Every structure is written in C-alpha cells, then in structure tokens.
Chains A and B, each alone.
Chain A
Amino acid sequence: MTRRAVLVLAGVWLAACSPAGEPKGLPLRSAAGDKRADWFVDRAADAGLDFVQVNGMSGRFYMPEVIGPGVALFDYDQDGDLDVYLVQGQPLGPGAPVSRGGTPLSDRLYRNDLRVEADGTRRLHFTDVTAQSGIDAHGYGMGVAVGDIDNDGWPDLYLTKFDAPNQLFHNNRNGMFTDVSKKSGTDSRSWSVSAAFVDIDRDGWLDLYVGHYLRYTLEGNTRCMSPSGAPDYCTPDSYQPLPDRLYRNRHDGSFEDISARSQIARAFGPALGVSTADFNGDGWLDIYVANDGKENQLWINRRDGTFENRALLAGVALPLTGKAEASMGVDAGDFDDDGDEDLVVTELTGEGTNVFVNDGAGVFEDDSARTGIGPASTGLTGFGTAWFDYDNDGRLDVLAVNGAVQVIEALRQAGDPFPVHQRRLLFHNAGGGRFDEVTARAGAAFAVSDVGRGAAFGDLDNDGDVDVLVANNNGPVRLLVNQAAGDAHWLGLRLVGAGGRDQVGARVQITTAGTVRHRRARADGSYASANDPRVHVGLGASGAPSDVVVQWPGGRRETFSAVAADRYTTLTEGTGR
C-alpha cells in the first residue's frame, strides 16, 4: 500500500488579509495562450523588493567590489512560500559610500506575503522583516547558503564574507534567528563566496562545504592595468588562492573542521561556485568546485569520510582546450534525462560557458560547443546559472546572468559610470543535446543590461513554474516572474525527512504517462546563492499522475505512486514503499 504525506499548496492558498485589510502587491496572471507576452517580467520593485546592492567602490578597483552578491530563496517561516534573503556590500576604502540614501548598508530579509485571490490571481508582495528577524550580518557580504543544521525542519542561514568571519544564523522557528557562528565553529574569516550544505556521510545531518577565494587585503591590493596603462580590476592570478573548508556536523549545533582529514584541502583554487550531487552514481554525494582561472575540482566521496579529486581524469577540471578558465557559477542537472548529473559552468568573456555531459559513472565529455551553449555565451562573463525548465516542457533549460569583471572599453567610451554590465542569457533545450539561445524572445527583462552575479531559482508565486531572483552588483535586485509556461502541466515535490528537513541531494525518477525524467532536490549551485529546495518538473501536455521513485541521500529508495500533477506534494522519507 502506498502511503504518502501530502501537502497541497497550489490552488488552495488561504489568503490572509494584510494588516491594512487591503490586498497588497501586483496581481500576476498567466501568460498562457498569449504568444506575444514576455516570458519573464521583472516584478521586484512592484512586489516590494526595493533592494539595491552597493559594492562599495571608491575608484581604486578593489577586487571584492566585483565579486558579490548572492541571494537566497528559502521558506524561513514555513508558511509555504519562498522568502528572500539579499546580501549587501560595505564601503571599501576611504571615499566609498557608507549608506544608500540614508539607509545603512546591511543584508535584508524579506518575507513573502503571497496572496492568491479567489479567481486564482496571485499577488506577490514582500515585507522587509530584517529588523525583527534578529539577523545582524556583519562585514562585507558575498554569498549565502541555506540548510537545516539541526533537523528541526526550519532552514538556517550561512553567510559568506570578505574581510569578516562567516556567519551562521539558527532559525528559532518564531521568525527570528540567533547568531551561532562562533559556537558552530564555521566562522572562518578567509574570503569566501559560495557554500553548500551537504550530507557527506549519510548520517542524516547536513555538513557544510565552504569555497574560499583569494588571500586578499585592501592594504595589499595590487595595482592592475590594461596594456594601455589604464587602471582596471586584477585577475585572480595576482593573488594566492585559499583552501576550501569542509565542516562535519556534530549533531549538537557545532561542526568539526575535517578539511585535512577529508583530503579536500589538498587541491584548491580560487573557488567561486559549489555544486553537490552524486556524480558517479554510487549513492553518495560528491562535490564539484568551480575555480576562477584554475582547474576545477570534482571531489568524489570515498564513503569513509574522505574525498578524492578526480576532476582531471573525469574531464571536468578544464575544457577540452586544456586552458584553465575562469569558472564562476555552476549547476548540476540531468538535462539529457539519462539518469545522471551533468554540469553547466559559467565562464569569463572569451571563454564561453562549459557543459560537461556525464556518462553515468562520473566520466564527462566537454560538449560545450556541441550543445550550442558555449559558442553563444562567448561574448559574456557568466555568474549565476541553473538547469531549470522555464517552459514546463519537461526538458531542463539554462539561464545565466552575466556581468564583466574588467572594464568594457566600449561602455566606458560611451560614458558609462560602471562599464561592466552585460545582458542575461536564456537557452531552450531543443532535445538531442542541442540548445537554442532564446534570450531575444524572453521579453524586456532580458534586454536589460546589468552586472549580474547571484541568481536563485524557485517558484516564488507557487504557480507551478520557476521564477528567478537575480542579485546584481551595484544595482537593483531583479525578480523575473515566469510567464512562459502557459498551460503546460507540472509536478512539484517537497522531499523531507522525518523531522521535516528538506532532503537536499535526494534524486527522483518521475514516470508520467510512460515518459521518465530525473531530477534532484538542491538548494546549492548557481553562484553564491541558495535555490528553492523543492523539485520542480515540467510535464508538458500530460497532466496524468506520476510515479515517483526517490533515492534519499541516506541510501533508502522508495516509490510513491500516482502523485498528482499541477500541485506541490510533500513526500516524507519512510512513508513510501
């Protein structure tokens, strides 16, 4: 007998009135059937996300200015919708701004007050709840990771920094957080950007991988110039990379630094992106690290608390040319639906995004050119990225946010005050291993040129398609609300353990009317950001119920039958068959 724990969110949202009694927020309607409508619309300002990142630049070309920020989507209050955490910069050096319009520069937490009207209209509105959250983020913020460190079912928050200790905030389950950085032992002071929570030892507790970037101080800033002698941002080669850290969860709120014992500190570069998945199909979670200008690492879990870097022989350390490229954002996903995790890695202008296709055993082919993604992205510097099915046709597409890290002379000649902005890229999975660039058809939000960095992917309005929250450097946050999916069907899964913790790393095989798809629950990947931990599956024209086989991170395999389409369903470990 099939037993399922089911939590239906879509369609039966109980709309609580706002304090003023008036509905707030912008009504969102589906663009279904309207071929002329934009696929994505930026609703950030309308929905109350009025955040602008300040990178603290003072004209001295300090490198941290162009590295952040990240962004997180997570349901901190467990009310069924995704809230938003935005990372802020700080003044860097004398002469840099200390506030923005009188508002102190600090990270912000926004609560999602989504309302669904009786006619199905969704009203997205966000309320800044930073002050009452107890979150006091110190220092220059870089990125954010989300994970439930104590298995209480409430997501906690890890913040990465430049020139300040990283911070871990425990979710108190009452809308407030407590800073447990010191006690946790994860308060590394080394410059870090991306981090990921991952259960490396199958003990049912989330461990933490922190990617570290460069050994850099403002005082030791190297003066870099273009060949003509014009000042510019340095490349990472100007500084020494820092080893990453792996922390094992001790189950008591503290973590043990096992970087040496686990072997992961043995090989390192300037880490910018981290993605965790079972790359070799042995049921244990591995770690992929995207390094800036150095070989990437693929840490294969040896199931004994240690890892082995197999990136080179696996074919994911470098592209086929053998040139160490500037890897930034990364995501793992099964874009060809053959049951294994493939990689997309964003790179510097002139290099092009890399796509590494897995053969199932953790051996990859560089198909960057073959997919079409590499050539189409050569002119841009990519950061946040993800495999996601924007049109719910059942195939994983790709989005990348872009922005250069050195002055674009043509923009400067045009008088641009911060001449590094670039447009976003959207690729549609055409099947057969090919992707079409469809940016120009995605709407006005994709014609905007920004200094894109972090990007978090998730269904903010719970309407069954994946939206994108983009964190821009020295610019406003963008909330790209998806209108592309139309009438296509979908399946939403929340995969949780007995305690209610999101089981990030769980893999699912979904069979719908004879079609098999593979997905993974993950919050990590992209760039310095945290994604919706729910699994979202486009079903195309079929609204039939699906059979779902879950491979839980702890090794258990369970089947859940006849899971309904067009709604979110919670699958709890131990309740399947």
Chain B
Amino acid sequence: MRRAVTGAAAAGLGLVLAIACGREPSGGDKAPPHQAATAEVQSVPLPDVSRAAPEVQAQLREKHAVMTRVVAQASSSPADRATAYGDMGKLFVATELYDAAARCFSNARLLAPGDMRWPYYLAQVARLSNDPPKAAGLFEQVLRLQPDHVPSLVWLAEMRLAQSRPEEARPLLVKAQSLAPGEPAVLYGLGRVALEAREYSAAVSALEGVLALAPSATRVHYPLAMAYRGLGDLTRADAHLRLRGETAVPPADPLMGEVSSLLTNAAALETRGVQAMDARDWPTAVTVLRQAVALSPDNAFTRLNLGTSLYLSGNRDGALEQYRAAVRLSPSLARAHFGIGVVLESRRRDGEAIDAFAAAVRSDPEYDEARFSLANALRRSGRVSESLAHYEKVLERNPATSQAGFGLAMALVRLGRYREARDRLERDARAFADQPGFAHALARVLAAAPDDGVRDGARALALVKPLAEGQRSPAVVETMAMALAETGRFDEAVRWQTEALSLARRAGRSDLVPNLTANLRLYEAHRPCRTPWTDDDPVHHPQPSPD
C-alpha cells in the first residue's frame, strides 16, 4: 500500500505557549481559539521546492529565512511571530504547498488568537485541499471572531452546500445578504440553495438578481435555466442555456486577493493572464502577459497567448509582433503560424496569409482551423483547385464541419464541376437541414448550371420557394427568378428579378446591380440564366476568419 506522508513534523521550536485567556484544553479545529489553553507551535521546515521556478524558489527561501529569524528572536512579540508565520503561509498557499501553509497558519492562530485572518486562511487551505467539513469548522471559528465577515459567510455556505446541507447554508446567505446586498456571490448561493430545495421561483428570483448585478457572470445562466425548466418555462430555459458560459461568481475576498498577487514569476503571471483570457478580460490579460514576457522573453507559448490577447483587444500590429516572435522561438508552433495568418488575412494580405496557414498545417496536419482558413484563402486568391484537398481533409476528420462542405461545393462550382457540386450540396442539404444555405445553393445550381445533365428547374423551384417565402433577400429572390426562368416562366422571373434589384438597391448593395440587371435582360428576352454565380460573387470570396 502506498500512502502519502502528510502529517506535520512533531518536533516544535521549543516555543511552548501558554495562552492565558482560556481555561479549556484545545479541541482541535472545532474549538474556538480563545478557549485554547496550551498548544505547541509546530516547526515549519522549508518543503522541497526544487521543482518550482528559480525565482519562486528564491522567494520562498527568502520568506522562510525571514520567518525563521523573526520567530527565533526573543524580542519578537507573539503578534510579530504570527505575522511572520502568516506571511509565509500565504506564500505557501500561492505555491500550493498546503500542508506547510496549514502549519504556518496554525502557528499564527496560536500566537494571535484574536486575529481572524489566521483561521480564515486555515479554512481556505482546508477548502483548497478538498476538505469541506474541516473548512466549515474553521469558517465558523472566523465568524465567532468576526460575525459580519461576508466572505466567511459565503464560503461557509458553499461548504454546507458541498456537504449536502443546503438548509444550513440558507441562513448564512440571508445574513450575508443583509450585510452586503450588492454581492452577486450571495445571491448566487441563495439561488443554488433554492434549486437544491426545488424552490424554483425563489431560485429564479435570486439568479436573475445575480445577472442584474453581474451580467458577465455567464455561468449563472445554466442554473437559472434549470430553475425555469422546473417552473415549466422551457422557452426561458432555452434562452438562458444559449447564454451560458464559464465566468463564475466568486465572492469579493480581499484576504485571498493578497495571496493571488504574491507570486510574480512568469508562470504565475501566465496563469493569471490565461485566467483573464478565459474571462475575456483582454486589457488585464495583455497587461499581465506583457509582464510574463518581460520575465520570460524566450517562452513561445507566453508570446502566443499575449499575441492572441492583443489581437482580441484590437491591437493587430502588437499581435503580429508577438506571433512572429513566438515562431522565431518555436518554428513548429502551429498556433503562432495560424495567428500570423489570421492577422494577415484580416489585412487582405492573402498571399502571406496563405504561407502562414500552410506553415501551421505543415507543423500540425490535423489543425483543422488552420487548414480551413488555408482553403478559404486559396479560394479567395483564385487558387481554387488547390483549396479542394484542404476542404476535403477537414471534412474527412469532421464531416459535420458544414462551412468546409459549403466551401468545397463552391470551389467545385467555380471550377465548373457542377455535377460534383450538386452531389455535395445534396448530401449537405440533407445533413444540415437546419442550415438553409445548402438548399439555396443547391437550388441555384439546379436552376442555372451550364451542365444540362445537372439542371432540374422543377426541383430548384421546389427548393427555393419555401426559402423565398420566409426570407426576401436579394440572393434568394434572384434564385427564385433563376428557377422560374429555367422552367420557362419568364414573366414571373422578370417580376422576381425586378424585386431582387429593388431589394439590392434598398439594402445599399449597388455592387449587385449590374449582374442582376444583366440577368433581368435575359429573362425579358425569354432566355434562362446559365451562370449560377459570377466569379466576383461574394460566395466565391469567403470572408477572413472572424475576430
């Protein structure tokens, strides 16, 4: 049997403290600190920190030396010693050395029993070590010292929820609400308590309240959806499910905030930067990741993340610079090549973008986003036949990539391979019945392909008619006209084409007018259209990747 040796070393520093203010012997974590009669400060040797980054090792050693010096000085007051242990403990929490942190905070609590910070940090260590019962006992201690400490009320409620004791969580949160009515985490807790109790109206009320206070807390949409589901309101439930995300609702917690800012090594900064990216907080991500790059300029991944944050905050020059630096550091870093391609294609520099996307695909042949972007850029640049293999490769790996299917079909159209385009569109129109673009494109090919064996005017009409009834866009109305013309109904085709022209003008799409007019003349002359899309049609010029 293998087991961890996690117990604290028993040997103390020889400091046996008589805590004068109590009469009862110490009862462990459940005993209020002021009742502790005597207890022993534990030794806190520096754990093995050899795996940590050098600057973190130095930080830990320095802090440990300070702590050792302070606790050894005869002139140090108990409060000084408590602070020394507490500061060390906070750094241990930041570096996830929880056993050592617990020893420090236990010592601090013994030395300064009236200071709520030390049982609070002990509670956080227990929480982070996934021990809710122990954490709960410690948060209760904090609340005996400071009954109005809102973070402790919220965290204690959280521990009660984790212990499946929602009814014990509720009064804590009600009290927290009275103390901090604008704290979203309190309402979130109340919403969860109500959900556990299947009190769906109360849950809706609380969780809607969270979103009113913190609209970016996207994680709340899911429990709110479940509450609406419980009330039988599936429409609202579905609406909130569509808005769900991963931005959480942590309580405002200045004490834990001190911990999270302690580490300033590159890895810690990168972690904070990535957390900011996850929260879509681009300014913070850029700031923190710039600091990380300054400390670790040769880390290609950090530069990649900084590049992405810069791009998403609108600084494309800065993004390009970081992506290029990442590629210099790690020439096979496919995501950096892809980033370069995305920036360049956004600037209509397709030739260079193609080179970057191709480099990404060479580095990682399964990188489908890069391959899809490469195919689109090739098609946009007129290198249509080269795009085919890339679309096909993407579809081979994920047949549900509908955009690749559409791109492939349009590439085939552009190459005059109408039969293959039709077959592709037939398949995708069935597979993606909820995406009317496929049925529309198929209708147009069936209405206007130059290949006699491909056209089928009646089917084209049957396909486009329901679309035209639902959506009066110039493109759909024009396809209707094409289908009517193909079936010999030229007068109706003229009417529809005239409407398409009118719609285009109203939409400010003067670029469409020449081709629409040319086709109108065909129908007026009782001649069908034999050009489903002209080469300059936007369908042959896929837009660059969206931001």
Query: What is A's interface to B at a CB cutoff of 8 Å?
Result: 190, 215, 217, 219-220, 222-223, 225-231, 240, 242-243, 257, 259-261, 263-266, 312-313, 315, 318, 320-324, 349-350, 352, 363, 365-366, 369-370, 372, 374-375, 378-379, 408-414, 416, 419, 421, 444, 447-449
Check A261/B2 contact, CB under 8 A, given A228-B96, A375-B162, A379-B130. no
On whether the beta carbons of A323 and B51 are closer than 8 Å, the reply is no
Residue of B nearest to A409 (CB): B96
A263 neighbours in B (Cβ, 8 Å) = 400, 431
Residue of B nearest to A215 (CB): B366
Is residue B163 contacting chain A, with contact meaning CB distance below 8 A?
yes
On whether the beta carbons of A409 and B398 are closer than 8 Å, the reply is no
On whether the beta carbons of B222 and A318 are closer than 8 Å, the reply is yes
B364 neighbours in A (Cβ, 8 Å) = 215, 217, 220
A260 neighbours in B (Cβ, 8 Å) = 399-400, 431
On whether the beta carbons of B96 and A227 are closer than 8 Å, the reply is yes
Q: Whole-angstrom distance between the alpha carbons of A217 and B132 in the complex?
A: 38
B270 neighbours in A (Cβ, 8 Å) = 225
On whether the beta carbons of B52 and A323 are closer than 8 Å, the reply is no
A447 neighbours in B (Cβ, 8 Å) = 1
Name the contact of B268 in the complex, choosing from A228, A257, A324, A412 (C-beta under 8 A). A228
B506 neighbours in A (Cβ, 8 Å) = none
B268 neighbours in A (Cβ, 8 Å) = 227-229
Is residue B41 contacting chain A, with contact meaning CB distance below 8 A?
no
On whether the beta carbons of A266 and B99 are closer than 8 Å, the reply is no
Q: Produce 1/0 per residue, B416-460, CB < 8 A to A.
A: 000000000000001100000000000000000000000000000
On whether the beta carbons of A228 and B223 are closer than 8 Å, the reply is no
Q: Whole-angstrom distance between the alpha carbons of A72 and B47 in the complex?
A: 42
Is residue B145 contacting chain A, with contact meaning CB distance below 8 A?
no
On whether the beta carbons of B234 and A378 are closer than 8 Å, the reply is no
Q: Whole-angstrom distance between the alpha carbons of A230 and B50 in the complex?
A: 9
Is residue B174 contacting chain A, with contact meaning CB distance below 8 A?
no
What are 10 A-B pairs with beta-carbon distances under 8 A? A228-B268, A231-B51, A312-B222, A313-B234, A313-B241, A321-B223, A369-B162, A375-B164, A413-B47, A448-B1
B263 neighbours in A (Cβ, 8 Å) = 227-228
On whether the beta carbons of A449 and B2 are closer than 8 Å, the reply is yes
On whether the beta carbons of B3 and A228 are closer than 8 Å, the reply is no
On whether the beta carbons of A320 and B1 are closer than 8 Å, the reply is no
Q: Whole-angstrom distance between the alpha carbons of A144 and B194 in the complex?
A: 42
Q: From residue A95, how far is it (CB to closest CB) to chain B in Å?
A: 18
B132 neighbours in A (Cβ, 8 Å) = 375, 378
Check A411/B4 contact, CB under 8 A, given A229-B267, A369-B162, A379-B130. yes
Q: From residue B240, how far is it (CB to closest CB) to chain A in Å?
A: 10
Name the contact of A323 in the complex, choosing from B162, B234, B248 (C-beta under 8 A). B248
Residue of B nearest to A475 (CB): B2
On whether the beta carbons of A243 and B222 are closer than 8 Å, the reply is no
Q: Produce 1/0 per residue, B456-471, CB < 8 A to A.
A: 0000000000000000
Apart from A227-B95, A313-B241, what 8 extra A-B contacts exist at CB < 8 Å? Answer: A227-B263, A228-B53, A228-B263, A228-B265, A261-B399, A315-B226, A349-B130, A365-B198
Q: Whole-angstrom distance between the alpha carbons of A230 and B263 in the complex?
A: 13
Shortest 5 CB-CB contacts between residues of A and residues of B: A229-B53, A322-B222, A260-B399, A265-B400, A230-B51
Is residue B244 contacting chain A, with contact meaning CB distance below 8 A?
yes
Is residue B385 contacting chain A, with contact meaning CB distance below 8 A?
no
Q: From residue A574, how far is it (CB to closest CB) to chain B in Å?
A: 35
Name the contact of B400 in the complex, choosing from A190, A230, A266, A322 (C-beta under 8 A). A266
Q: Whole-angstrom distance between the alpha carbons of A174 and B55 in the complex?
A: 64
Q: Whole-angstrom distance between the alpha carbons of A313 and B238 in the complex?
A: 7
On whether the beta carbons of B2 and A378 are closer than 8 Å, the reply is no
On whether the beta carbons of B399 and A259 are closer than 8 Å, the reply is yes
On whether the beta carbons of B4 and A243 are closer than 8 Å, the reply is no
On whether the beta carbons of A320 and B192 are closer than 8 Å, the reply is yes
Name the contact of B430 in the complex, choosing from A226, A261, A363, A370 (C-beta under 8 A). A261
Check A190/B397 contact, CB under 8 A, given A227-B96, A229-B268, A318-B222. yes
Q: Whole-angstrom distance between the alpha carbons of A312 and B224 in the complex?
A: 12
Q: Which of A257, A260, A324 has the most chain B CB atoms inside 10 A of its CB?
A: A260
Is residue B412 contacting chain A, with contact meaning CB distance below 8 A?
no
A449 neighbours in B (Cβ, 8 Å) = 1-4
Q: Whole-angstrom distance between the alpha carbons of A217 and B241 in the complex?
A: 34
Query: What is B's interface to A at a CB cutoff of 8 Å?
Result: 1-6, 47-49, 51-53, 55-56, 94-99, 129-132, 161-164, 166, 192, 195-196, 198, 219-223, 225-226, 229, 234, 237-238, 241, 244, 246, 248, 263, 265-268, 270-271, 301, 332, 334, 363-364, 366-369, 397-400, 430-431
B399 neighbours in A (Cβ, 8 Å) = 257, 259-261, 265
Q: From residue B30, how far is it (CB to closest CB) to chain A in Å?
A: 18
Q: Whole-angstrom distance between the alpha carbons of A421 and B1 in the complex?
A: 11
B237 neighbours in A (Cβ, 8 Å) = 313
B3 neighbours in A (Cβ, 8 Å) = 449
Residue of B nearest to A372 (CB): B164
Q: Whole-angstrom distance between the alpha carbons of A369 and B197 in the complex?
A: 11
Residue of A nearest to B366 (CB): A215
On whether the beta carbons of B246 and A227 are closer than 8 Å, the reply is no
Q: From residue A548, how far is it (CB to closest CB) to chain B in Å?
A: 35
Check A227/B271 contact, CB under 8 A, given A222-B301, A261-B430, A312-B241. yes
Q: Whole-angstrom distance between the alpha carbons of A449 and B1 in the complex?
A: 6
On whether the beta carbons of A219 and B131 are closer than 8 Å, the reply is no
On whether the beta carbons of A228 and B56 are closer than 8 Å, the reply is yes
Name the contact of B97 in the complex, choosing from A222, A264, A409 (C-beta under 8 A). A409
Q: Which of A313, A352, A408 has the most chain B CB atoms inside 10 A of its CB?
A: A313
Name the contact of B192 in the complex, choosing from A227, A259, A264, A321 (C-beta under 8 A). A321
Q: Whole-angstrom distance between the alpha carbons of A410 and B263 in the complex?
A: 20
Q: From residue B212, how far is it (CB to closest CB) to chain A in Å?
A: 17
Check A414/B4 contact, CB under 8 A, given A227-B96, A321-B192, A372-B164. yes
On whether the beta carbons of B51 and A369 are closer than 8 Å, the reply is no
On whether the beta carbons of A227 and B6 are closer than 8 Å, the reply is no
Q: Whole-angstrom distance between the alpha carbons of A419 and B2 in the complex?
A: 10
Q: Whole-angstrom distance between the alpha carbons of A230 and B53 in the complex?
A: 6
On whether the beta carbons of A322 and B51 are closer than 8 Å, the reply is no
On whether the beta carbons of B267 and A226 are closer than 8 Å, the reply is yes
Name the contact of A321 in the complex, choosing from B1, B219, B234 (C-beta under 8 A). B219
On whether the beta carbons of A379 and B131 are closer than 8 Å, the reply is yes
B244 neighbours in A (Cβ, 8 Å) = 312, 318, 322
Check A378/B267 contact, CB under 8 A, given A320-B226, A412-B51. no
A324 neighbours in B (Cβ, 8 Å) = 246
B4 neighbours in A (Cβ, 8 Å) = 408, 410-411, 414, 416, 419, 449
